[in-house]
Amino acid sequence: MLHGGTPREATIEDRFTVRRPSRLRAPRLVRAWRNVYAASAVWRGVPGAHGYIAEIAVKKKGRKISSYRKVVGPKKRRIVVPSHPGGSWAVAGVQALNADGVPGRVGSKRFRLAPPKSVSLGRAGRQSARSAVRTGGKVRVRTICPVNGHCQTRIKLMLGKRTIGGAAYQQVPGTYRFVEVAPNSKAMRKRLARGGLKNLKVVVLQHRTGTKAPGAFTSSPG
């Protein structure tokens, strides 16, 4: 080594070992669902993550039939595949990336992309009614339309014998659909958001075009 044109002895001041960052743990509370054509996955963050790899895959006999994978930043906790081709079952998997970009352990959730082909319209209506849950000043419901024809779906919010809100739509066969239904009255919405309207009932009515409804299915939102 030269210093000012004069040879100078090189000295070693210290020695140390740099260790690679360890693989991060699996994200917890991975949840996944399909809403009509869109498939979504959400998860809880991992401390120290520099990003995530998230995938929604369909497998058959251990082999991937389809796979949608995204790499997102450390603040993201959700991916959405807007037009997922569907299927029966899928697996959502999420891995946290460490400082070197190495993926950690996998957190996963198996979920249905479509209702079972054996489900009847009556059973679908009962399951739809039981899915009702309060979300602030609204009620969230997951309605099911079995295969073999579009479903004419109607949801009513009932307080005693009085209808205070609702929604109606046509649903694609072989799909789930999430809807939020609110009372028509602003005062009622405020009461619901405060935890009031204890006697509120959710009624789901479904039928195929040109047929009669199999019945009205009622539940109390959780």
Question: Could you give the CA distance from residue 116 to residue 132 in angstroms, rounded to a whole number?
Answer: 20
Beta strands in the chain (DSSP E): 2-3, 6-7, 31-35, 38-42, 52-60, 63-72, 78-81, 89-97, 103-112, 133-135, 138-145, 151-159, 162-171, 175-181, 200-208, 216-219
31-112 architecture in CATH? Answer: Sandwich (2.60)
- In the chain, what are the domain boundaries? 31-112, 121-219
Q: What CATH number is given for 121-219 in this structure?
A: 2.60.40
Within this chain, domains 31-112 and 121-219 share the same CATH topology:
yes
| pLDDT at residue 9, rounded to an integer | 66
CA 38, chain centre distance (Å): 10
20-39 tens-digit pLDDT: 789 999 999 999 999 999 99
Degrees to nearest 5, angle at CA 58 with 173 and 101 = 135
Whether 1 has a pLDDT exceeding 60, the answer reads no
Rounded alpha-carbon distances, angstroms, from residue 68 to 75, 129, 144:
20, 32, 24
Classify the C-alpha dihedral 209-214-220-221 as positive or negative.
negative
pTM summary value: 0.82
Gap between the Cα atoms of 54 and 143, Å rounded:
27
Q: Residue 2 — very low, low, confident or very high, per pLDDT cuts 50/70/90?
A: low
Please tell me the distance from the alpha carbon of residue 153 to that of residue 15, in angstroms, as a whole number: 72
